[in-house]
Amino acid sequence: MKPIKVGLLGLGVVGGGVWDVLRRNGEEISRRAGRRIEVAAIAVRDVAKARARVDGDVTVTADPYAVVRDPAIDIVVELIGGSTLTRELVLEAIAQGKHVVTANKALLAVHGNEIFAAASKRGVMVTFEAAVAGGIPIIKAIREGLTANRIGWLAGIINGTTNFILSEMRSKGLPFATVLAEAQRLGYAEADPTFDVEGVDAAHKLTLLASLAFGVPVQFDKAHIEGISKLEQEDIVHAERLGYRIKLLGVTRRRADGIELRVHPALVPAQRLLANVEGAMNAVLVWGDAVGATLYYGQGAGAEPTASAVIADLVDVTRLHTADPHNRVPHLAFQPDALSDLPILPISEVHTAYYLRLKVQDQPGVLADIAGILSRAGISIGSMIQEPAEDGATIIFLTHEAVERNVDEAIASIEQLPFVHSRVTRLRLENLK
Amino acid sequence: MKPIKVGLLGLGVVGGGVWDVLRRNGEEISRRAGRRIEVAAIAVRDVAKARARVDGDVTVTADPYAVVRDPAIDIVVELIGGSTLTRELVLEAIAQGKHVVTANKALLAVHGNEIFAAASKRGVMVTFEAAVAGGIPIIKAIREGLTANRIGWLAGIINGTTNFILSEMRSKGLPFATVLAEAQRLGYAEADPTFDVEGVDAAHKLTLLASLAFGVPVQFDKAHIEGISKLEQEDIVHAERLGYRIKLLGVTRRRADGIELRVHPALVPAQRLLANVEGAMNAVLVWGDAVGATLYYGQGAGAEPTASAVIADLVDVTRLHTADPHNRVPHLAFQPDALSDLPILPISEVHTAYYLRLKVQDQPGVLADIAGILSRAGISIGSMIQEPAEDGATIIFLTHEAVERNVDEAIASIEQLPFVHSRVTRLRLENLK
């Protein structure tokens, strides 16, 4: 069969990885796909640099529109990043009747509904395995592997930078700022680490996973996002003593009244596999009503792991590009006319367990007053430790599941108590059951 | 679109699970698949019992051939088990132009080449996600998710019964026979546990995984198979003290000269996720040259986890049944005309690390003699412990990677030494790197 012709937009880390893997494994990939996958054109800013990197019969141009509009190209691979130019390029590729493979979570989390609608209308595929959790085939698992299930929830470590930082904070006992500087030196964190560290990148990915799991439109603007920059070393130590590890989790859960969609640090029981995912690795735990819990683990970033996902999409598109569009896997796992309008719940309506830490004056009645406030707010205490601290005592509560709104109100009341000497540090706790 | 019509062969544990999940989640599955998946006929031995279990407009018959030849049926789901009758039924279904979904690893590990060839010739699909690791979409991951990769090796805990037994032996300090009896009482082990306990079931599954990973024909008869029935409690304890856990692993590895295909107990470093897969759970670790290591974890058996995989296949077949057969995912991941003839290596040619335990008389020169034998056989020692035992000392060696043939020869020589009082207990050790 004729080779399928690919146009690459971008030849940075991931683009270079795609080029290298297709080169190295081209023959083995053809043995699987049944035909060759050939990069026929590349658009880059620096043509001379790209020319030096790639050899062979490839058009290299500075004009991405020339690739997107090239009639010889079957599939456009968008690896530029950002969401302004890429939105235009992807929509133009679709308008030209080309299939699109992208690793761009920011683009799809924000403009996904528009892009998928345009693609469905034009009868082309937009695939994005590489947009979430790098080389782990998590999108395929949810979209195709778990189709029998009513998915109840999923929780993932889907940002390698923050997981690396948290692993280092725990194992070396260092504060956030020190570890971040080290991560930047090692190339695990960007010069401006905001997107990773503040949870935005994880929220982009979680937004996509929630749509695939529950069949709702992409709604990044409704996600609740907290990062790890305010996390204190002290809480990592307390968590460990209590049998937990703190991870930056993306959690999405279907409830009768809506969907929870939230990224934040959370305590996870130390014996769970997810708690043992260390360094820059990623993992996603998915619960379906038939299959129970399944977990998917691997490298969430890097040139070749991400290229692995891009090329898996290329093989899929190669196989399906002649299929009747109605028989292809829908972009968001559910048929476009069968999406659900279940709302995304505000964070105040989330149900989960909590870790609360505060400093109090060590005097009679303290615990009774605090416990009374929690009890009146409908929050039951799973366990508690109190220990001497400078000028008084530190108290830590682990609560059973409660409504976040009630927890916030209880914390506000507790902070009013005259013998409470600190703000209440509140972290969510996920039992993942 | 018209519903797709399914004929079920068998309504036991898994068949019942398929029926229940299709019932419960039918509407959500249709929202994904774009059409309804409808069980139209069921063949069972006890028609009256099945009639009492299923309601609605379903043909129930005692004649499986009536289902296989029913012109109204699009997909035959084989959940009878065994490989004599099922081989005939599956081949007949294929001859009738029907697609087949099966959970039958024994059938495919032994008759897979014949069945896949017949299916390819007739232009129908035979899918088997449920045959390996229950609800974990591991076949999809390898066959479609990792297509970019040259897969180097995979190692899996793919038999829940033995993993349950090993977990109990370790956590409760009990011998094999006691735990097996308990597992039988709980329903985790069959009355005749041979297939599970002696590694045959795991080898069936590993045989299929090896074909998908490396593009070789199914060759169950070449697999090396050892179970856990001879495993001693003592070695589990020693392993734990040395920082390892013993798991029944299926390991397959591609080397330049052939493929290793082996099921046996193995020491695994305790900090690896795979070592922390406990109870009846399954997990498969796959290493690809682009993606690195990825791991897939979940329930490897049970009615609904297995049904989850069967139904995922049903949805896939539903989507692809109108596609050009050349564009479908090949049965064994690689195009049938692109399979490799790389041989399966005999166990004597395997390269791995070893745990050796023996009892010696405590006298000068013992260690020098044994170390000399190992050294002359080209086996280097990673670590060693010696401790007093009744009438002498126990010595344990952990070796670096060596060729099994050399290890066997060294063991034979060591057992000849006059001061060696026991057979040498030899277990393989997998670093999984």
Q: Which residues of B are annotated as a binding site for NADP(+)?
A: 9-16
By C-alpha distance, the chain B residue nearest A272 is B276
Give yes or no for residue A271 having a pLDDT over 90: yes
> CA of B317, closest CA in chain A: separation in Å?
10
The predicted pLDDT at position B64 comes to: 98
Across the interface, whether the CB atoms of B31 and A335 are under 8 A apart is answered: yes
Q: Which residues of B are annotated as a binding site for NADPH?
A: 105
Share of chain B above pLDDT 70, in %: 100
Give yes or no for residue B324 having a pLDDT over 90: no
Across the interface, whether the CB atoms of B294 and A17 are under 8 A apart is answered: no
pTM for this prediction: 0.97
**Which residue in B92, B93, B37 sits closest to B314, CA to CA?**
B37
From-to residues of CATH 3.40.50.720 in chain B? 4-135+303-322
Of the candidates B137, B148, B296, the beta carbon closest to that of A311 is on: B148
Across the interface, whether the CB atoms of B31 and A148 are under 8 A apart is answered: no
Query: How far apart, in whole angstroms, are the C-alpha atoms of residue A398 and residue A383?
Result: 5
The predicted pLDDT at position B411 comes to: 98
Residue A420 burial (C-beta neighbours within 10 Å; 0-12, 13-18, 19+): buried
> CA of B136, closest CA in chain A: separation in Å?
7
Give yes or no for residue B391 having a pLDDT over 90: no
Geometric angle at alpha carbon B143, from B21 and B216, rounded to 5°: 125
Which string of DSSP letters, residue by residue, matches B290-341?
Answer: TTEEEEEEEE-SSHHHHHHHHHHHHHHHHHHTTS-GGGSPPTTSS-GGG---
Q: Is A156 near chain B, with CB under 8 Å?
A: no
Please list, residue by residue across A113-125, b when 16 or more beta carbons sit within 10 angstroms of its beta carbon and e when fewer do: bebbebbbebebb
Across the interface, whether the CB atoms of A307 and B290 are under 8 A apart is answered: yes
Task: Report chain B residues whose CB lies below 8 A from the CB of A149.
Answer: 25, 308
Share of chain B above pLDDT 90, in %: 95
Q: Is B297 near chain A, with CB under 8 Å?
A: yes
Are the beta carbons of B349 and B166 closer than 8 angstroms? no
Sign of the CA dihedral running A149, A151, A157, A159:
positive
Average confidence (pLDDT) over A227-244 = 97
> Phi and psi dihedrals of A430, rounded to 5?
-110, 115
Query: How far apart, in whole angstroms, are the C-alpha atoms of residue B87 and residue B114?
Result: 10
Across the interface, whether the CB atoms of B297 and A292 are under 8 A apart is answered: no
From-to residues of CATH 3.30.360.10 in chain A? 139-299
Parallel/antiparallel/unpaired status of strands A258-269 and A244-255: antiparallel
Q: Which residues of A are annotated as a binding site?
A: 9-16, 105, 190
Supply the mean pLDDT for chain A.
96
Give yes or no for residue A188 having a pLDDT over 90: no
pLDDT tens digits, one per residue of A87-135: 999 999 999 999 999 999 999 999 999 999 999 999 999 999 999 999 9
Of the candidates A17, A315, A323, the beta carbon closest to that of B147 is on: A315
Looking at the domain that runs over B139-299, which CATH code has it been given?
Answer: 3.30.360.10
Q: Which residues pair with B225 in a beta bridge?
A: B263
The predicted pLDDT at position A355 comes to: 98
Give yes or no for residue B56 having a pLDDT over 90: no
Instruction: Write the CA distances from A351 to A242, A260, A409, A431, B387, integer angstroms.
Output: 21, 9, 14, 12, 54
Q: State the catalytic residues of B.
A: 205
The predicted pLDDT at position A433 comes to: 87
Give yes or no for residue A66 having a pLDDT over 90: yes
> CA of B127, closest CA in chain A: separation in Å?
13
Across the interface, whether the CB atoms of A149 and B273 are under 8 A apart is answered: no
Query: How far apart, in whole angstroms, are the C-alpha atoms of residue A306 and residue A205?
Result: 14
The predicted pLDDT at position A322 comes to: 85
Query: How far apart, in whole angstroms, are the C-alpha atoms of residue B392 and residue A297?
Result: 46
From-to residues of CATH 3.30.70.260 in chain A? 348-429
At residue B126, what is the residue type?
A: V
By C-alpha distance, the chain B residue nearest A214 is B28
Measure CA B354 to chain center: 22
> Would you mind telling me the total number of residues written for chain A in this entry?
433
- A-facing residues of B in 313-332 (CB < 8 A) are 315-316, 319-320, 322-324, 326-330
Out of 3.30.70.260, 3.40.50.300, 3.90.1150.10, 1.10.150.310, the CATH code matching A348-429 is 3.30.70.260
pLDDT tens digits, one per residue of B218-272: 999 999 999 999 999 999 999 999 999 999 999 999 999 999 999 999 999 999 9
Query: How far apart, in whole angstroms, are the C-alpha atoms of residue B350 and residue B262?
Result: 9
Q: Which residues of B are annotated as a binding site?
A: 9-16, 105, 190
Of the candidates B147, B292, B320, the beta carbon closest to that of A311 is on: B147
B95 sits in the region (left: phi over 0; alpha: psi -120 to 50; else beta) called alpha
Across the interface, whether the CB atoms of B320 and A316 are under 8 A apart is answered: no
Class (C level, CATH) for B4-135+303-322:
alpha beta
Task: Report chain A residues whose CB lies below 8 A from the CB of B31.
Answer: 215, 334-335, 338
Give yes or no for residue B20 having a pLDDT over 90: yes
Supply the mean pLDDT for chain B.
96
Across the interface, whether the CB atoms of A1 and B277 are under 8 A apart is answered: no
- A-facing residues of B in 200-229 (CB < 8 A) are 215
Across the interface, whether the CB atoms of A25 and B316 are under 8 A apart is answered: no
pLDDT band at A55 (very low <50, low <70, confident <90, very high): confident
pLDDT tens digits, one per residue of A276-334: 999 999 999 999 999 999 999 999 999 999 999 999 999 999 999 888 888 899 999 99
Question: Which of B308, B314, B340 to mutate to test binding with chain A, by most A CBs within 10 Å of its CB?
Answer: B308
pLDDT band at B62 (very low <50, low <70, confident <90, very high): very high
